[in-house]
Structure 1
């Protein structure tokens, strides 16, 4: 008479313990989903491969997911709705499908997710038979690509905005090795919020390809989405640079809204 209730309670406790165990060992829900767009060939491929290794480890350590694409064929509004962060990892602003162009503009204009762009994202002009993308031209501060240092140079990057979350934990000045510093037809400064600039007098070896005021990290507050452009993104040795890794990590979490 007393054994049945005892067995019944024991059975319920056992079920409760199993449920608690299963719940405790379920994988945590990802904090956000990121999409990375990178070229599948060309001389930036080594950088993109190194970035992918680092990003995958960061995603695992920080509980977010990241997917990769190497062209814009799949991009439309429905596709982008799955992602809270768009990383333009060395992919130029031309050659996109018309559908991808419209979807990306909507994504940024309406604040549907954040954006982090690197290096090739400011290759603005007429390239490979494509005309300039007017919206992206405005997004990047109304600049056109003019020239670059093809034989590379070391340069010192000076932080201008020490309180912006993307610059948190960075030294006032940090060195970037092996970069093909771009020049533009003008500085984007009047149209954007500059966070850092490169000191052209620090180039080693020295170069005559200079533009004076030379921002290399900026955000455009005129757009609803959190956005950050980081020029440096050519050589895989950047992933041995502690300041650059801190910058990259900060940019991801700030642009994703965390």
Structure 2
């Protein structure tokens, strides 16, 4: 419980406001590249060392060898020495054994090229990733192991070609991830800029991309990711296309970029690395057009960041009232023991109490009581505290919320993990229609916000949303290896938030992942017929009907989606089987 005045001390049942300050949004001067204003005391309090861990830096080459590898190793050792991790450097693929890999939180592929691991070593590395290990790919790591499908999925995209070395503009798409939070909206860099064989945007979360108009030789039709992250088969994968030149590894911004990728891959910091497309910015860092201040207090705007001051009040998006289903995402950071929140579903009004009386607040305050802590629907439902704690970054680091509204259902995701699932049953409130706002809580509370964006359904009736399909033992329906090839096996796997476990049901009877459909192999009907991923084709082999008993039936065959066998571990095949309503045929749908 906080020793300063909390929301509970202001007013019961979802209190929002207590004290007064000046209204509006104040623009402040230019800030350092590392964020919006913070007092030295808050910044010092926020800094906490990671626990000691080890990283393996692997740089074997079977093709072109980059002269910058030595500089890369030196930079990694420097970063480790300053940030509490030890780097073991090797070019010996014999290091890839189950026992040896187990000591490392992350494995860095530093400009590896060609086929660098044999089959046994590949298997050991796959097991390492599936056991929760981290992968960091630097530059030519994308020019590696072309014939190993697991690695192609892990890396996210493979090398196609490159023009001559030159300066390009990097567009920073995610300023909350630890690898990019220190950067501005754009980043001017000199490097060798790879073109890739495929665009990773649909299977990975893009952190930064290239402005192809800023240099010559880009061939990805104007959508050119250059750094990304993803959950993959139980592990974490980060890739950056930079790092060709020796000078890259003495560049402070690039070194910090690498450090953030290593920290995230090693599990030292959290981020939402689910693929993200279709969002429209409401606040992109350039101004607050469409926003209004309600009540006292204000926000400063600097370095693309809104930071609360004074209050209590609320900055709300008056330009649009959201109806139907929508997903709201935004990045936020506390500097210390601070307090704020996101308000949704309230009517237009310059009186912030309308948000309290007619809407809901998603809390930001990790030290308040259970129903008033980060991730809670303030005063109504506590967060799943274990899930919240696993996803929450500490003060001084950025977090990402997704607030998903489906009819009267409100789901809260923190760093890509669901931490709350609430359904409105109050006739005086409705999530189906209303505005959104961010709170400035009080003089002692400093919370910052970036990249407020929304994806709407266009006011269509509520329907199933993308999410996990959970089966027996609370494991998820998973596309093996995150692969997208026709015929890829569907399996059970520990839920990990990866895109290979995100399924959509667009209302046409199909289940879709990775832009393909859940399919009965060959349209068969025999018990044991493989369930696979396949290009959507409108056939009966891709039709699925959820039943009241929690089974999912393929009407064409009259049989059910079934987890094979009786042990149901990671990797258990999903196949077609006669319906019997056993636990391995029960599914919880998004």
TM, length-normalised to structure 1: 0.77
Deviations 1:156-186 (A, max 9, x none): 111111122322211211122131x222233
Alignment of 1:152-163 (within 5 A): 152-163=165-176
- 2:568 alignment partner in structure 1: none
- Shift of the 188–164 alpha-carbon distance from structure 1 to 2, 3 Å rule, reads same
Give runs of aligned pairs for residues 1-258 of structure 1, distance below 5 A: 31-39=52-60, 44-92=65-113, 94-111=115-132, 113-123=133-143, 132-141=147-156, 143-149=157-163, 151-179=164-192, 181-203=193-215, 206-207=216-217, 209-212=218-221, 213-258=223-268
Q: What is the DSSP-based 3-state SS (H/G/I as helix, E as strand, rest coil) of the residue aligned with 2:93?
A: coil
Deviation (angstroms), 1:154: 1.6
Larger deviation, residues 76-85 vs 37-46:
37-46
- Deviation (angstroms), 1:41: 8.6
Unaligned runs of 5+ in 2: 1-49, 269-590
What SS does structure 1 have at the residue aligned with 2:68?
helix
Shift of 1:86: 0.7
SS in 1 for 2:231: coil
Contact 2:167–2:189 under 8 Å retained in 1: yes
In structure 1, stretches of 5+ residues that fail to align are: 1-28, 127-131
- Indicate how the Cα distance of structure 1 residues 61 and 138 shifts in structure 2: closer, same or farther if over 3 A, else same: closer
Q: How many residues align?
A: 218
Alpha-carbon distance between aligned partners in 1 of 2:240 and 2:114, rounded to the nearest angstrom: 15
Partners of 2:183 and 2:71 lie apart in 1 by: 21
Q: 1:93 to 1:161 in 2, by over 3 A?
A: farther
Distance 1:140 1:58, change over 3 A: closer
Alpha-carbon distance in structure 1 between the residues aligned to 2:140 and 2:167:
18
Q: Distance in 1 between matches of 2:140 and 2:257?
A: 18
* Cα separation, 2, equivalents of 1:238 and 1:196: 16
Q: Distance in 1 between matches of 2:89 and 2:213?
A: 37
- SS of residue in 2 equivalent to 1:34: strand
| CA drift at 1:44 | 4.5
CA contact (8 A) 1:193 1:221 kept: no
Q: Work out whether residues 61 and 116 of structure 2, in 8 Å CA contact, stay in contact via their aligned partners in 1.
A: no
For the structure 1 residues 240 and 42, does the alpha-carbon distance in structure 2 shift closer, same or farther, using more than 3 Å as the test?
Answer: farther
Bigger Rg over Cα: 2
Residue 178 to residue 163, structure 1, CA distance change in 2 (3 Å): closer
Question: In 2 relative to 1, CA 42–191 (structure 1 residues): closer, same or farther, beyond 3 Å?
Answer: closer
Q: Give the Cα–Cα distance (whole angstroms) in 2 for the partners of residues 231 and 135 of structure 1.
A: 19
Is the CA contact 2:227–2:239 (under 8 Å) kept in the aligned structure 1?
yes
- Spell out, residue by residue over 1:68-116, the C-alpha distance to the aligned partner (whole angstroms, 9 max, x if none): 11131231111101111111111136231212100111111221x2221
Tell me if structure 2 keeps the 8 A contact 1:122–1:144. yes
Provide the rounded CA distance (Å) in 2 between the counterparts of 1:103 and 1:233: 27
The 1-side partners of 2:101 and 2:53 are apart by 13
- Compare relative contact order (CA 8 Å, sep 6+) and give the higher one, 1 or 2: 1
> Following the alignment from structure 1 to structure 2, what is the Cα–Cα distance between the partners of residues 93 and 194?
25
1:161–1:167: 8 Å Cα contact kept in structure 2?
yes
Kindly indicate which of the two structures has a greater share of residues assigned to strand.
2
Q: 1:232 to 1:159 in 2, by over 3 A?
A: same
